Structure 1
Amino acid sequence: MTDLISHAADLRGPTSFPPIADGFAFGGDYNPEQWPESVWADDVELMRRAGVTTATVGVFSWGLLERADGVFEWGWLDRVLDLLHENGIGVALATPTAAPPMWLMKAHPEIATVDENGVRTASGGRLAWSPSSAVFRRYALRMVRALAERYADHPALKLWHVSNELGNENAACYSDETEAAWQHWLAEKYSGIELVNEAWGTAFWGHRYGAFDEVQVPRFARTKHNPGLLLDFSRFSSDALLAHFQAERAVLREVTPTIPITTNFMVMGEPGADDYSRWAREVDIVANDHYLRRDDPHPAGDLAFSADRVRGMAGGAPWLLMEHSTGAVNWQGINLAKTPGQLARNSLAHIMRGADGALYFQWRQSSAGAEQYHSGMLPHAGADTRIFREVTEFGALLKRIAPAAGTTVQKARVAILFDDQSAWSLRATRGPSDRLHAVDLPKDFHRAFTARGIAVDVLPSSAPLDGYDVVLAPTLPLADDSVARALADAAERGAHVQVGFHSGVFDQSGRVLTGGYPGRFRELLGVRVTEVLPLLPEQSVATDAGWRGELWTEDLETPDADVVARYSEGVLAGVPVLTRRPVGAGSASYLATRPDEPGMGAIVDGLVALAALQPIAPIEPGLDVTRRIGDTGSFLFAINHDLENPRTVGASGVDLVSGRPADGAFTVAPGGVAVIREG
């Protein structure tokens, strides 16, 4: 785990930190305060049996540590940390600011968030505090300082975990105090109110502002708010949450300068409230929570895309999976259990894509409270259960593959550009189709490349593109001139650039760039879209390439591009749907629809041929492979998502999971995993 710290620290300067754990970190949230102290010894004994190295402690413990205003009670936490340390388990100690104590909520109800209807959040939930509340900030930092000073020298302390999932329940606040902070943020961003009017186009509906104090937060209105206002309010809200993290971090850094600091992101599914590509520069280790969603038709694809995206934010350095589940969650209405073997496949899928640890929520499944049916490493039924046996087996597996810890994922030749702010820009406006989601087309491309054994890096749009032979901007509506130049430069030097529909259409204020879509990328692509014709859920359109387009179609002109495929039916019959234009030593292509699965496969096969891409290793369908490399060697990870048939990967070496040799080919059992130390 040393490399997880040192690589991440290199991104932020020369500071180095001690390791979190030997090998891969393994464990999860431990909440002993929910249980009688008589249970704790059993917990630790079972942790040792399972191979737990790391416990996240204290996430929701503020009310149990500060029983009343300024009255602290540390005894129980002292004993927990001592017990864990005595048994060789390191601690990621959380600042407990996600859950303000009841006495604070009663004394200062003004710290709570206010929703867009003006209703103040009542006590009883979590993250009920407003990021802009000065009163909350004062109490929170007092708690953080007391905690840091108490445990600064405790030998169990390996990592600071700031708050919890910042922005999950307090993504936005609409209070008067927030409004004042919002107006101050605008005044800092714009040197005068007329620049706000210009950026947002407030002449529409006569919404011109005469002063910053006229710009209210976007509370409930019977019509949609100005897209520019909503986009900037999303930026402000992310910055407000980040400012709170930075404030807690400053206290921890002052008191414990040698302990690394992180907070858990939520990179999964559709982007949320935080601009994580910016947040990633503020933590010592990038850490993420990931949960599968039952309505996702390709859950393994979302997991892989998310993990690659987190690695991209970390600049390729090892990162930490802070939370995922051993089984079912409790917040999806119908909460699907994981099938036998899925725990190992899901956990290793993060590790193969760069995580140097796999932690879960939580150690012991709660018997009370709002998450009593969220799975744990130790279920309600106890240790004599399939889940606990699989947890123990996976802990042993991580020990066998420990030589791979600290290595990094081999850089890909394919890059997909993806940004949180682009997703916000789609949500801020009423566009042609509310079925268009920022993650769908990027995940389609990612899944198609992955199925062919081709490695993919998912990067923020500001990332350098040197060394990539294929660069995709599938859904990037918000892109400034620097992104357009970077794509053009990549094509000039030989990369094959693929842009998807509704990309490059907005300026940084969310205003549509006029002259025809795709706006910012029109010159590079040599195309011009004059009209969008969205499709209904039951509709699709055939192309002369033999595949069908879904979701979206466009009336596309090609003044300076070659036509690769056209629509072959309907009102757009004969209109181009896929184009390509030679640019320098490379090319730039445009896709005007969401292809069906055969279509996406054909498009990706075309890009693979153009760039002469080779798979990470020869694979049969159903296998997911990546390679991690470092001073300890080269490690080929393989997961067989086919639950019925064994699948073969071309590899030579020894499988650290099973101990079996690989002599040019290795067979992975149905639903199985392999980590082959090559050589």
Structure 2
Amino acid sequence: MSRPGRTRLTRVPGLLYGGDYNPEQWPEEVWAEDARLMREAGVTMVTVGVFSWARLQPGPDTWDFAWFDRLLDLLHAHGVAVDLATATASPPAWLVRAHPEILPVTADGVRLEFGSRQHYCPSSPQYRAAALRLTRALAERYANHPALALWHIHNEYGDHVTECFCPRSAAHFRAWLGERYGTIDALNHAWGTAFWSQRYTTYDEIEPPRTAPGPVNPTQLLDWRRFCSDALLALHRAEREILTELGPDTPATTNFMSMFKALDYWKWAQAEDFVSDDAYPDPADPHAHITASLNYDLMRSLNGGTPWLLLEQAPSAVSWRPVNVPKKPGLQRLWSLQALARGADGIMYFQWRASRAGAEKYHSALLPHRGTASRGWRETVRFGAELARLGDIAGSRLAADVAIVLDWDSWWALEGDDHPSARMRWPDLLRPWYTALHARSITITFVPPDAALDGYRAVLAPNLHLLRPEHARRIADYVRGGGHLVCGPFSGVVDGHDHIHDGGAPGPLREVLGLSVDEFWPVPDGETVTLASGAEATLWTEWIVTEGAETADGYASGPLAGRPAVTRHPYGSGTAWYVSCHLGEDIGDILDRALTAAGVRPVLDAPEGVEVTVRAGARDTYLFLLNHGDRPARTALTGAYAAGGTDLLTGGAVHGHIALEPLGAAVIRVASAPGSTAPDSPTPDSPGGTDQ
């Protein structure tokens, strides 16, 4: 379904700019002013219809498209393209009251009510039928409208409801299990139902993992996570099929929510023409730009390194945190440029005009409550003009010598109940590794566990708790062929059924790592363990026994003092490192050793707080420098960039070095592309989903 060869996101030239537009919240006379101001601000596309279901279909057999016709015609007349949503994210009251079984049910048996959004059971046939009817009506009417540039399917799947425990969901779950396992004996084996007398004799005896007296079967919970992701994806695919049937030439996407645990985005990305993301970094968090960078690298990776779209972000403050801090002047610009630096081909926002009523009335907008007299409006206009000057960047891509393995199955299994430590959470294990790479100006790509690894200088696995033997063989072949692997703790522990591997951890990685794990040794809260190098471990340590691996660092305190902590194992023509503990920010020293040996080099040696990336197009290369710090920073242009180029933001020539004020940025066009910035070729164009 995806089209990774697409060079531009839509038919709209240059970089996309705009945001969500909700005209149903405003008198129609306001629309003309909005269209005029959009043109003034340089807006090229707006998202419409996201929450318009009740207005478009006021009753079961009543439709009102006349107002929507006028809206799309108005936008087209002002040169503003439309990202048209299918409006299925918020069923209207009449549908819910006619079919109350649509409403979702919690694990405790509570039926959630109407009055918010996403109030539907993903397995409800009544909801599905109504959503597809609406999607078809929209596609039949607007598939050939000249304003249409993009289909926007649903909105933020799983944001509020990722699962439902009603009888219809139970039946759907049983059918899904039947397709997965076939016989009930196969399911009993996979679920380990010999434990606690949980054996089933028929599929009819199986229910969703509702609230129970004690711990629920962990493989049942893992399969439930898989099922819930698939159930929502089935709804998405059903809408997509209608849009493809009636408007095959218009691309379609749905807005992801960064690194979102509930949905396996590797599988979801296969249903998109391109990936789009909603990202809301917290201005009160001094490290928010690093988390944003991580999420943007994921979005770029999900569809093989092709450009993606930042479909939502806040112009300033959001409305849903306990304390909603605005973005200080210049931060919105810097963070928007960061998305471009990480491969985005468009910068969109929520929303165009600030709402006066509803749950998001305090959320910022491109056109704030104060209107054109506001600081926010001035930033909206300024950035629109800047974005227009960067249009040639569209279609260019990033290169990555380093891959990080990400597996949703492993994430779900890692964070199950009744583990040695509840503190081992995938985002917390990943973040220090990524932070170290970000600080060193090393660009990464994420890959699924079944990805081809040839071409990467180094592969990092901060955690692979669940690891299938076939995926371990890929990793072993990569190292044997000359690759460099760095693997984090609590990896290779369970198989695809969440069963402990024979012989324990690291399971199928035992040979390539050259060690066995004798015992897990979690670190109590508030305590640390010192290593011989001076590094400190928290959360987790392991008693490991080397079987060919050499000790690169050892435990110097605590019950494991004198035992190996970090190992290095030559394997074939490559090297495999194992880090048996959680080192937090101290992981940087180990990564330096491993990446230096692998020949990984930074784009530039940048001062602290300065982010550096490179995008390469067919003719030109674009060097991004972003100063996230609170003081001026000077970065030397060396190596392939020593000759400098033209800063597209100012139009001025740059040679030798670039000086940036706090929150400053530069986008330098380099006329001749260095060899290290070829497109993201090591990443497969269509990475696919992990094996299920």
Q: Deviations over 1:38-67 (max 9, x none)?
A: 211221222112211110000000000101
CA distance in 1 between partners of 2:598 and 2:291 (Å): 25
> Structure 2 residue aligned with 1:548, among 528, 531, 536?
536
1:574 to 1:397, Cα distance in 2 relative to 1, 3 A? same
Q: Per the alignment, in what secondary structure is the counterpart of residue 300 of structure 1?
A: helix
Shift of 1:294: 7.0
- Matching residue of 1:246: 237
Q: Is residue 27 of structure 1 aligned with residue 11 of structure 2?
A: no
Shift of 1:618: 3.1
CA distance in 2 between partners of 1:523 and 1:267 (Å): 35
- Matching residue of 1:595: 583
Q: Is the 8 A contact 1:640 1:647 kept in 2?
A: no
> Structure 2 residue aligned with 1:637, among 624, 627, 633?
624
Q: Deviations over 1:11-31 (max 9, x none)?
A: 6xxx99983421111111100
Q: Is residue 397 of structure 1 aligned with residue 391 of structure 2?
A: no
* Correspondence 1:75-86 to 2 at 5 A: 75-86=66-77
> Structure 1 residue aligned with 2:473, among 485, 492, 517?
485
- Matching residue of 2:62: 71
* Correspondence 1:647-662 to 2 at 5 A: 647-650=634-637, 651=641, 652-662=644-654
- Matching residue of 1:560: 548
- Matching residue of 1:42: 33
Q: Per the alignment, in what secondary structure is the counterpart of residue 214 of structure 2?
A: coil
Task: Report the more deviating stretch, 534-543 or 188-197.
Answer: 534-543
Task: Report the more deviating stretch, 156-165 or 113-122.
Answer: 113-122
Letter in 2 for 1:398: L
- Matching residue of 1:277: 266
Letter in 2 for 1:177: R
Q: Deviations over 1:243-294 (max 9, x none)?
A: 10111111111111111111111124xx321110011011111111112247
- Matching residue of 1:342: 331
Q: Is the 8 A contact 1:21 1:53 kept in 2?
A: yes
CA distance in 2 between partners of 1:645 and 1:550 (Å): 34
CA distance in 1 between partners of 2:222 and 2:19 (Å): 35
Q: Is the 8 A contact 1:326 1:338 kept in 2?
A: yes
CA distance in 2 between partners of 1:177 and 1:444 (Å): 42
Q: Per the alignment, in what secondary structure is the counterpart of residue 235 of structure 1?
A: helix
Q: Per the alignment, in what secondary structure is the counterpart of residue 67 of structure 1?
A: coil
* Correspondence 1:49-68 to 2 at 5 A: 49-68=40-59
Q: Is the 8 A contact 1:305 1:458 kept in 2?
A: no
1:372 to 1:239, Cα distance in 2 relative to 1, 3 A? same
Task: Report the more deviating stretch, 390-399 or 299-308.
Answer: 390-399
Q: Per the alignment, in what secondary structure is the counterpart of residue 117 of structure 1?
A: coil
Letter in 2 for 1:51: G
Alignment gaps of 5+ in structure 2: 672-692
Q: Is the 8 A contact 1:403 1:632 kept in 2?
A: no
Q: Is the 8 A contact 1:20 1:90 kept in 2?
A: no
Q: Is residue 524 of structure 1 aligned with residue 512 of structure 2?
A: yes
* Correspondence 1:65-214 to 2 at 5 A: 65-214=56-205
Shift of 1:549: 0.9
> Structure 2 residue aligned with 1:506, among 482, 494, 498?
494
Q: Is residue 535 of structure 1 aligned with residue 526 of structure 2?
A: no
- Matching residue of 1:352: 341
Q: Is residue 326 of structure 1 aligned with residue 318 of structure 2?
A: no
Q: Deviations over 1:374-402 (max 9, x none)?
A: 22111222222222222222211111111
CA distance in 2 between partners of 1:388 and 1:216 (Å): 53
Q: Is the 8 A contact 1:266 1:290 kept in 2?
A: yes
- Matching residue of 2:306: 317
Q: Per the alignment, in what secondary structure is the counterpart of residue 155 of structure 2?
A: coil
Q: Per the alignment, in what secondary structure is the counterpart of residue 589 of structure 1?
A: strand
CA distance in 1 between partners of 2:4 and 2:406 (Å): 24
Q: Is the 8 A contact 1:312 1:460 kept in 2?
A: no
Q: Is the 8 A contact 1:294 1:332 kept in 2?
A: no
Letter in 2 for 1:244: L
Shift of 1:295: 8.3
> Structure 2 residue aligned with 1:621, among 591, 599, 608?
608
Letter in 2 for 1:100: P
CA distance in 2 between partners of 1:424 and 1:471 (Å): 21
Q: Is the 8 A contact 1:17 1:260 kept in 2?
A: no
Q: Per the alignment, in what secondary structure is the counterpart of residue 24 of structure 2?
A: helix
CA distance in 1 between partners of 2:404 and 2:386 (Å): 31
> Structure 2 residue aligned with 1:288, among 258, 263, 277?
277
Task: Report the more deviating stretch, 97-106 or 322-331.
Answer: 322-331
> Could you tell me the TM-score, scaled by structure 2's length?
0.94
Task: Report the more deviating stretch, 492-501 or 529-538.
Answer: 529-538
Q: Deviations over 1:421-459 (max 9, x none)?
A: 221112333212222111222221122112111111122
Q: Is the 8 A contact 1:328 1:375 kept in 2?
A: yes
Shift of 1:558: 1.0
Q: Per the alignment, in what secondary structure is the counterpart of residue 374 of structure 1?
A: coil
> Structure 1 residue aligned with 2:289, among 269, 290, 300?
300
> Could you tell me the TM-score, scaled by structure 1's length?
0.95
CA distance in 1 between partners of 2:365 and 2:210 (Å): 39
Q: Per the alignment, in what secondary structure is the counterpart of residue 577 of structure 2?
A: strand
CA distance in 2 between partners of 1:520 and 1:621 (Å): 39
> Structure 2 residue aligned with 1:9, among 3, 6, 11?
3
Shift of 1:561: 0.4
Q: Is the 8 A contact 2:610 2:625 kept in 1?
A: yes
Q: Is residue 374 of structure 1 aligned with residue 363 of structure 2?
A: yes
Q: Is residue 515 of structure 1 aligned with residue 503 of structure 2?
A: yes
- Matching residue of 2:427: 439
Shift of 1:140: 1.0
- Matching residue of 1:676: 668
Shift of 1:373: 1.5
Q: Is the 8 A contact 2:16 2:347 kept in 1?
A: yes
Q: Is the 8 A contact 1:439 1:475 kept in 2?
A: no
Sequence identity, in percent?
44
1:217 to 1:18, Cα distance in 2 relative to 1, 3 A? closer
Shift of 1:350: 1.4
CA distance in 2 between partners of 1:614 and 1:52 (Å): 38
Letter in 1 for 2:668: I
CA distance in 2 between partners of 1:210 and 1:649 (Å): 70
Q: Note the aligned Cα RMSD (angstroms).
A: 1.7
Task: Report the more deviating stretch, 608-617 or 620-629.
Answer: 608-617
Task: Report the more deviating stretch, 394-403 or 15-24.
Answer: 15-24
Q: Per the alignment, in what secondary structure is the counterpart of residue 28 of structure 1?
A: strand
Shift of 1:214: 0.8
CA distance in 2 between partners of 1:407 and 1:676 (Å): 14
CA distance in 2 between partners of 1:448 and 1:388 (Å): 36
Q: Per the alignment, in what secondary structure is the counterpart of residue 648 of structure 1?
A: strand
Shift of 1:596: 3.7
Q: Is the 8 A contact 1:161 1:263 kept in 2?
A: yes
Alignment gaps of 5+ in structure 1: none
Structure of greater relative contact order (alpha carbons < 8 Å, 6+ residues apart): 2
Letter in 2 for 1:454: I
Task: Report the more deviating stretch, 368-377 or 234-243.
Answer: 368-377
Shift of 1:536: 2.8
- Matching residue of 1:219: 210
Q: Deviations over 1:177-227 (max 9, x none)?
A: 110011011111112111111111111111111111111001111322111
- Matching residue of 1:609: 596
- Matching residue of 1:666: 658
Q: Deviations over 1:119-154 (max 9, x none)?
A: 111111111111111111111111111111111221
Q: Is the 8 A contact 1:9 1:16 kept in 2?
A: no
